[in-house]
Amino acid sequence: MKDAIATTRPWADPVTGQCPVADTLSILGGKHGAKILHCLTAGERHFLEL
């Protein structure tokens, strides 16, 4: 099973099979994810500035 994960997601951790990219996208994939990413491209922001 781990070989199948490695071939479909080469960035996945080979030991655990977890994918940090997929985890990040699932968190930011909501309603405001694109807006948050856009704000963060301008530089560091305080939480309340977002």
Assessment of whether the complete model's pTM goes beyond 0.85:
no
Higher pLDDT, 43 or 12: 43
Three-state secondary structure call for residue 30? coil
Structure-block tokens of residue 35: 């807006």
pLDDT of residue 9: 64
Domain ranges of the chain: 2-49
Rounded CA-CA distance 17/4 in Å is 10
* 13-48: pLDDT as tens digits: 777 778 877 787 787 777 878 888 888 888 888 888
Rounded Cα distance, 37 and 45, in Å: 11
